[in-house]
Structure 1
């Protein structure tokens, strides 16, 4: 009788642990989906802000890259993966935002690029949240027990979203250092 109780307790403990692992994978997958949705929203906001800046300042290259990125957002909203097509469009937009003509606008009129700068910073944060969530899923799904028992089901592993999201340099030359004789009045 004691052996039966021990076996039943062991089976219950193992089943509880496996159920917890499977539900954790589901929660993490939900977190990836939410982070992906947030990332897409931020990518759309950045493209819209870039398009508005391009329209106001007549920046043709920036307008083209913003339109290309916006076209890719329709597919992302329809559920397409964050693959190389989206990455390429977003990288092209990032390069266009750092083009000399756009940087010159930022140096002459920093208030005009404030929306683009803010949107670009939010994209960087959203991408970090997404990639952290993907890393958590991939880490848990890579465990031997999860793989052997197929606890993650047939769901493919989510992919990282890697883009060049470095912010453009809008500021003019840095202020002179205090130990620089050229920066000291009367020196």
Structure 2
């Protein structure tokens, strides 16, 4: 028969292992939620920047940028294909805005919108990096969290502040 203190040790080890597994699973799920929230915030900041550009409708020299902003607003990011199209449109808009930054009509609104996009992009990239790294933790692999949680994706867009 097993001595009683061995049983207590086994129960304690099982409790610690269970607590660690629960904590790790909650951490992985929390990082994935934060990555999704950061992506939502990034899309909102990208939409805000496009709306700021649309204020320049009718100003000479802004025709191409306004058309690009309209194409950005028109493309949702629901599916993978739409997301890729949105990334291309955002990159085109960023390049066009860089060319216009020397224009005297350039405003602080556009500059601050670009800074907010850059900050939201960096925050999103950091959360995605952490979420992707958490998927390879031993406990996450054993609990098959990588199969249950969708893998967060990076947004491949240029940094608007350079």
TM-score (norm 1): 0.76
CA distance in 1, matches of 2:102, 2:32: 43
Deviations, residues 153-176 of structure 1 (Å, cap 9, x unaligned): 5222101112112337xxxxxxxx
Q: Which residue of 2 aligns with 1:103?
A: 101
Q: Which residue of 1 aligns with 2:12?
A: 9
Q: Which residue of 2 aligns with 1:48?
A: 51
- Measured after TM superposition, the shift of residue 54 of structure 1 is 4.3
Deviations, residues 110-141 of structure 1 (Å, cap 9, x unaligned): xx421111101100000000110111111111
Moved over 3 A (4+): 54-58, 79-83
CA distance in 1, matches of 2:158, 2:58: 23
Determine if contact 1:138/1:157 at 8 Å carries over to the other structure.
yes
Q: Which residue of 1 aligns with 2:121?
A: 127
TM-score (norm 2): 0.87
Q: Aligned-pair RMSD on alpha carbons? A: 2.0
CA distance in 2, matches of 1:145, 1:5: 24
Q: Which residue of 2 aligns with 1:64?
A: 67
Determine if contact 1:25/1:152 at 8 Å carries over to the other structure.
no
Determine if contact 1:54/1:62 at 8 Å carries over to the other structure.
no
Unpaired segments ≥5 residues, structure 1 = 169-187
Deviations, residues 87-131 of structure 1 (Å, cap 9, x unaligned): 1110011111123xx2342xx34xx42111110110000000011
Between 1 and 2, higher relative CO (CA 8 Å, sep ≥ 6) is seen in 2
Q: Which residue of 2 aligns with 1:181?
A: none
- Measured after TM superposition, the shift of residue 64 of structure 1 is 1.2
**Structure 1 residues 95 and 54: alpha-carbon distance in aligned structure 2, compared to 1, 3 A threshold:** farther
SS in 1 for 2:148: coil
Q: Which residue of 2 aligns with 1:185?
A: none
- Measured after TM superposition, the shift of residue 50 of structure 1 is 1.4
CA distance in 2, matches of 1:114, 1:92: 21
CA distance in 2, matches of 1:25, 1:104: 45
Q: Which residue of 1 aligns with 2:24?
A: 21
